Amino acid sequence: MFAYYLNLALRSLKRNKVLTALMVLAIALGIGASITMLTVLHNLAGNPLPGKSSVLFHPQVDPRPMNLAGASIAPPDNLTYIDAVNLYHLKAAPKRVLTSANWLPARLDQPGSPLDMTTTRATTADFFSMFDVPFTYGSAWSQADDNDHAQVVVLSRDLNDKLFGGTNSVGKELVIATKVFRVIGVIGPWNPQPHFFDLGQGAFGPARQMFIPFFTWLDLPQDYGYGPMHCWGNNPSAGMHNPKVADCTWAQFWVELDTSAQVSAYREALVHYSQQQKQLGRFTRAPNVRLRNLVDWLDYKHVIPVVVRMQTWIAFGVFLICMVNVVGLLVAKFLRKSGEIGVRRALGASRRAVFMQCLIEAGVVGVAGGLIGLPLAWCGLWMVHQQPVSFAASTHLDVTMLVAAIVLAIVATLIAGLWPAWRAARVAPAMQVKSL
């Protein structure tokens, strides 16, 4: 029966090519626009580290004073220097990473090599294994290097290409903020988006050019900013030149917890730590801790740019208009077939059969619209790629979105076809046959 209806649908669609083409085009344009924006949304809201996102956690504690005007209930996103160091030494998590970012003047350790401001991530050793960073040459530094404040540096592939022409630079030396650093490793391509581990520096965009041990970085003679700093109290710029002051948060901290037992134990450890700090008089609030995993953290931080959310709504507005258009054209189309439907009804076809036949016809239009909409979505994404926005590079069409486009086209057209098909099925056989 399905094959027969399909055949009828194709014949009917062929009979009025203009009307059919208009419907297909309307669906295709609607699908093109909405799939373009859905893809951008899908890519931006994607999981930056699918293999590990469930075991990476972002601890927060609340060191703020009791009656801070305008303070929210949520604890600060980042840690103060003291809490960062204390939590870093808390053994309840097997792997933990302390990180921040800025830029530093750097050059090759050769006379005449020009100084350049180079984007830097300061971090502890576990960063590379926790966040699945691949190495092309050499390796990460060790925890001993962290403890010794070793002057070692890991380069990004781009910086290694720029400074050393892409060759193995392990053992070579750089002058960073007037101190000599030895290259210990060069990473491969690695730039998970959004930059979940440090959203304060912009959630999307290029990766940092070099990585240096966190405590070594703090020792450097420098004043180039210490990441997104939030201070309270009378001196809003207290931490600008001294990141170790007590009332400024700026350090990002992540832990890896492999089992749910570890997670609850760590949460308790955070509460215990807060209580301890309160007894010491450092904290004044009741323990106010959070321990979100990577996905929940991104959710909480609303990383999707406003522009993208707005354009997605607009694209769906366009899709809705396209579908209203299709409903109108389908009504017209089925109404034109009234005579034919009358004859079928008179010859014994049930309302249900007529309804199904019309719906299948609508479905065929939907499939065609979806197939033509895909290249349009591809063009749309090409347009997005040309945009000078930080998230442009991370958008691409994948299989999920291809399937979604076709499914969306068919489902939307079937829904659009419901009412016209129902109307067509109500055609009274006698009236139509008489007028023939």
Does position 331 interact with other proteins (CB under 8 A)? The reply is: yes
In this structure, are residues 34 and 385 in contact, taking their beta carbons and an 8 Å threshold?
Answer: no
Report 133-162 residues binding other proteins (CB under 8 A). Answer: none
Q: Which of 327, 364, 374, 377 binds other proteins (CB under 8 A)?
A: 327
Q: Which is nearer to other proteins, 223 or 258 (CB)?
A: 223
CB of 180 to other proteins, least distance (A): 13
Contact code string over 41-80 relative to other proteins, x by CB under 8 A: ----------------------------------------
Contact by Cβ (8 Å): 231, 247: yes
What is residue 381's DSSP assignment?
H
> Taking contact as CB under 8 A, which single stretch among the options 21-29, 146-154, 244-252, 353-361 is the one that binds other proteins?
21-29
Q: Which residue has the tokens 């491969």?
A: 188
Helices (H), 192-337: 214-219, 260-280, 294-300, 306-336
Q: Which is nearer to other proteins, 322 or 364 (CB)?
A: 322
Nearer to other proteins, 52 or 423 (CB): 423
DSSP 171: T
**Per-residue x/- mask for other proteins, residues 389 to 418, rule CB under 8 A?**
x-----------------------------
User: Considering CB under 8 A, how many residues would be counted as binding other proteins?
Assistant: 52
The answer to the question of residue 31 lying near other proteins (CB under 8 A) is no
The reply on whether position 222 binds other proteins by CB under 8 A is: yes
Q: Is 56 helix (H, G, I), strand (E, B) or coil?
A: strand
Options 208-216, 356-364, 378-386, 399-407: segment touching other proteins (CB under 8 A): 378-386
Residues 295-324 that bind other proteins (CB under 8 A): 306-307, 309-311, 314-315, 317-318, 320-322, 324
Closest CA to 318 of 92, 48, 35: 35
Q: Indicate whether 332 belongs to the interface with other proteins (CB under 8 A).
A: yes
**Which is nearer to other proteins, 272 or 309 (by Cβ)?**
309
- Any contact of residue 18 with other proteins (CB under 8 A)? yes
Q: What are phi and psi of 388, to 5 degrees?
A: -85, 55
Q: Which of 13, 26, 87, 150 binds other proteins (CB under 8 A)?
A: 26
Binding flag, residue 431, other proteins (CB under 8 A): no
The three-state DSSP-derived secondary structure of 35-52 is HHHHHHHHHHCCCCCCCC
Whichever of 38 and 255 has its CB closer to other proteins, that residue is: 38
**SS3 string of 118-164?**
EEEEEECCCHHHHCCCCEEEECCCCHHHHHCCCCEEEECHHHHHHHH
Q: Which is nearer to other proteins, 281 or 388 (CB)?
A: 388
Residue 178 interacts with other proteins (CB under 8 A)? yes
CB 80 within 8 A of CB 277: no
Regarding 365 and contact with other proteins (CB under 8 A), the answer is no
Q: Which x/- pattern, by CB under 8 A, does the window 228-267 give for other proteins?
A: ----------------------------------------
Q: Show the DSSP H helices in 165-288 as ranges.
A: 214-219, 260-280
Q: Helix, strand or coil for residue 79?
A: strand
Q: Is residue 29 close enough to count as binding other proteins by CB under 8 A?
A: yes
What DSSP designation does 426 have? T
Q: Is 295 exposed, middle or buried (0-12, 13-18, 19+ CB in 10 A)?
A: middle
Q: Which residues pair with 60 in a beta bridge?
A: 290
Nearer to other proteins, 125 or 424 (CB): 424
Three-state DSSP class for 378?
A: helix
Amino acid at 201: Q
* Shortest Å, Cβ 103 to other proteins: 8
- Residue 405's contacts (CB-CB under 8 Å, 6 or more residues apart) are 31, 35, 370, 373, 374, 377
Q: Is the peptide bond before 194 cis (omega within 30 degrees of 0)?
A: yes
Task: Return the residues of window 99-118 that contact other proteins according to CB under 8 A.
Answer: 103, 105, 115-117
Residues forming contacts to other proteins in the complex (CB under 8 A) are 18-19, 22-23, 25-26, 29-30, 32-33, 103, 105, 115-117, 177-178, 220-224, 306-307, 309-311, 314-315, 317-318, 320-322, 324-325, 327-329, 331-333, 335-336, 380, 383-384, 386-389, 423
